[in-house]
Structure 1
Amino acid sequence: MLSALIWIPLVAALVIALLPESAAPRSRPIAGLAAGLTLALACILLAQFDLGQAGFQFQEQLPWLQSLGLSYALGLDGLALPLVMLTTLLIPLVISATDRAIERPRFYYALVMVIAGGVTGVFLARDLLLFFLFFEVELIPLYLLIAIWGGQRRAYAATKFLIYTAVSGVILLASILGLVGLSGAASFAMDPALAAGLPLAQQTVLIVGFAIAFGIKFPMVPLHTWLPDAHTEASTPVSMLLAGILLKLGTYGLLRLGLGLLPDGWDVIAPGLAVVAVISTLYGSLNAIVQQDMKRLVAYSSIGHMGYIILGMAAATEVSIVGSVAQMVSHGIISALLFLLVGLIYDRTGTRDLTVLRGLLNPERGLPLVGSLMILAAMASSGLPGLMGFVAEFCIFRGSFITFPIPTLLCIVGTGLTSVYFLLLVNRAFFGRLPEQFAHLPPVAWREQLPAFVLTALILLLGIQPQWLVGWIQASAHTLVALQIHSQVPSQIQPQIQPQIQPQIQPQIWAGS
Structure 2
Amino acid sequence: MLTVLLILIPLVAGLVTFGLKGSGPKALGLVASLASLAVTVAALFQFRTAPDALQLTANWIPQLGAQFSVGLDGMGLMLCLLTAISFLLILIVIYNREYERPNSFYGLMLLSQAGLVGVFTAYDALLFYVFWELALIPVYFLCSLWGGEKRIPVTFKFFVYTFAGSLLMLVGLIYIYLQTPEHSFSYASFVSGAITPQDQSWLFWLFFVAFAIKMPIFPFHTWQPDTYEQSPTPVTMVLSGIMVKMGLFGVVRWLLPVLPKGAYMWSDVAIVLSIIGIIYASCIAIVQSDIKRLIAYSSIAHIGLMSAAIFTNNEQSLQGLMVQMFNHGINIIGLWIIVEIIQNRLKIKNLNEMGGIAQYAPGIAIFLVTISLANIALPLTNGFIGEFLMLSGLFQYNVWFMAVAGLGIILGAVYTLNMVQKVIFGQSNQLTETTTDLKGNELLVLIIIVGIILVLGFYPKPMLELVSSTTELVNKVY
String of CA shifts for 1:213-240, please: whole Å, max 9, x gaps.
1100000111101110111111221111
Of 213, 216, 227, 1:230 maps to: 227
Of 304, 313, 318, 1:321 maps to: 318
Of 410, 413, 417, 1:419 maps to: 413
Matching of residue 9 in structure 1 with residue 10 in structure 2? yes
Whether the 8 Å CA contact 1:192–1:260 is kept in 2: the answer is: no
Separation in 2, partners of 1:74, 1:90: 22
Decide which moves more: 100-109 or 301-310: 100-109
Letter in structure 1 aligned against 2:223: W
Matching of residue 397 in structure 1 with residue 391 in structure 2? yes
Matching of residue 89 in structure 1 with residue 89 in structure 2? no
Separation in 2, partners of 1:285, 1:162: 25
Letter in structure 1 aligned against 2:88: P
Letter in structure 2 aligned against 1:45: A
Whether the 8 Å CA contact 1:195–1:203 is kept in 2: the answer is: no
1:103-114 → structure 2 map (5 Å cutoff): 103-114=100-111
Of 287, 294, 297, 1:297 maps to: 294
Letter in structure 1 aligned against 2:298: S
Separation in 1, partners of 2:64, 2:259: 22
Whether the 8 Å CA contact 2:362–2:437 is kept in 1: the answer is: no
DSSP 3-state at the match of 2:273: helix
Of 337, 353, 367, 1:373 maps to: 367
Separation in 1, partners of 2:244, 2:191: 26
Tell me: CA distance 1:206–1:73, structure 2 relative to 1, closer, same or farther (3 Å).
Answer: same
Matching of residue 60 in structure 1 with residue 56 in structure 2? yes
Matching of residue 468 in structure 1 with residue 462 in structure 2? yes
Q: Which residue of structure 1 aligns with residue 195 of structure 2? A: 198
Q: Which residue of structure 2 aligns with residue 504 of structure 1? A: none
**How many angstroms does 1:374 deviate by?**
1.0
Decide which moves more: 291-300 or 26-35: 26-35
Separation in 1, partners of 2:255, 2:118: 18
Of 31, 37, 40, 1:39 maps to: 37
Letter in structure 2 aligned against 1:6: I
Whether the 8 Å CA contact 2:228–2:236 is kept in 1: the answer is: yes
DSSP 3-state at the match of 1:102: coil
Letter in structure 2 aligned against 1:80: G
Separation in 1, partners of 2:276, 2:462: 31
Q: Which residue of structure 1 aligns with residue 262 of structure 2? A: 265
Whether the 8 Å CA contact 1:274–1:404 is kept in 2: the answer is: no
**How many angstroms does 1:178 deviate by?**
1.3
String of CA shifts for 1:434-485, please: whole Å, max 9, x gaps.
113322223431113322221111111111111111110111101111122x
**How many angstroms does 1:196 deviate by?**
4.5
Ranges in structure 1 where 5+ consecutive residues have no aligned partner: 485-513
- Where in structure 1 do 4 or more consecutive aligned residues deviate above 4 Å? none
Tell me: CA distance 1:225–1:270, structure 2 relative to 1, closer, same or farther (3 Å).
Answer: same
- Whichever structure has more helix as a proportion of its residues is 2
Of 243, 246, 260, 2:243 maps to: 246
Q: Which residue of structure 1 aligns with residue 207 of structure 2? A: 210
Whether the 8 Å CA contact 1:311–1:408 is kept in 2: the answer is: no
Whether the 8 Å CA contact 1:185–1:194 is kept in 2: the answer is: no
Q: Which residue of structure 2 aligns with residue 511 of structure 1? A: none
Separation in 1, partners of 2:168, 2:61: 23
Q: Which residue of structure 2 aligns with residue 352 of structure 1? A: 349
DSSP 3-state at the match of 1:292: coil
Whether the 8 Å CA contact 1:258–1:266 is kept in 2: the answer is: yes
Tell me: CA distance 1:433–1:100, structure 2 relative to 1, closer, same or farther (3 Å).
Answer: closer
**How many angstroms does 1:195 deviate by?**
5.3
Q: Which residue of structure 1 aligns with residue 177 of structure 2? A: 180
Letter in structure 2 aligned against 1:75: G
Q: Which residue of structure 2 aligns with residue 71 of structure 1? A: 67
TM-score by length of 1: 0.90
DSSP 3-state at the match of 1:101: coil
Separation in 2, partners of 1:120, 1:132: 13
DSSP 3-state at the match of 1:439: helix
Separation in 2, partners of 1:16, 1:449: 27
**How many angstroms does 1:185 deviate by?**
4.0
Separation in 2, partners of 1:178, 1:258: 14
Letter in structure 2 aligned against 1:226: W
Whether the 8 Å CA contact 1:78–1:475 is kept in 2: the answer is: yes
Whether the 8 Å CA contact 1:94–1:238 is kept in 2: the answer is: no
TM-score by length of 2: 0.97
Whether the 8 Å CA contact 1:313–1:320 is kept in 2: the answer is: yes
**How many angstroms does 1:149 deviate by?**
1.2
String of CA shifts for 1:145-199, please: whole Å, max 9, x gaps.
1111111211122111111111111111111111112344421001276454221
Matching of residue 25 in structure 1 with residue 23 in structure 2? yes
Letter in structure 2 aligned against 1:274: I
**How many angstroms does 1:315 deviate by?**
0.4
**How many angstroms does 1:57 deviate by?**
5.5
Whether the 8 Å CA contact 2:217–2:300 is kept in 1: the answer is: yes
Separation in 1, partners of 2:193, 2:181: 11
Letter in structure 1 aligned against 2:260: P
**How many angstroms does 1:359 deviate by?**
1.0
Ranges in structure 2 where 5+ consecutive residues have no aligned partner: none
Separation in 1, partners of 2:52, 2:154: 38
Whether the 8 Å CA contact 2:229–2:292 is kept in 1: the answer is: yes
1:98-177 → structure 2 map (5 Å cutoff): 98=94, 99-177=96-174
Tell me: CA distance 1:331–1:34, structure 2 relative to 1, closer, same or farther (3 Å).
Answer: same
Separation in 2, partners of 1:120, 1:248: 11
Letter in structure 1 aligned against 2:23: P
1:426-465 → structure 2 map (5 Å cutoff): 426-465=420-459
Separation in 1, partners of 2:171, 2:125: 12
Separation in 2, partners of 1:410, 1:330: 23
Whether the 8 Å CA contact 2:252–2:474 is kept in 1: the answer is: no
DSSP 3-state at the match of 1:315: coil
Separation in 1, partners of 2:233, 2:454: 23
Of 337, 340, 358, 1:343 maps to: 340
Q: CA RMSD in A?
A: 1.5
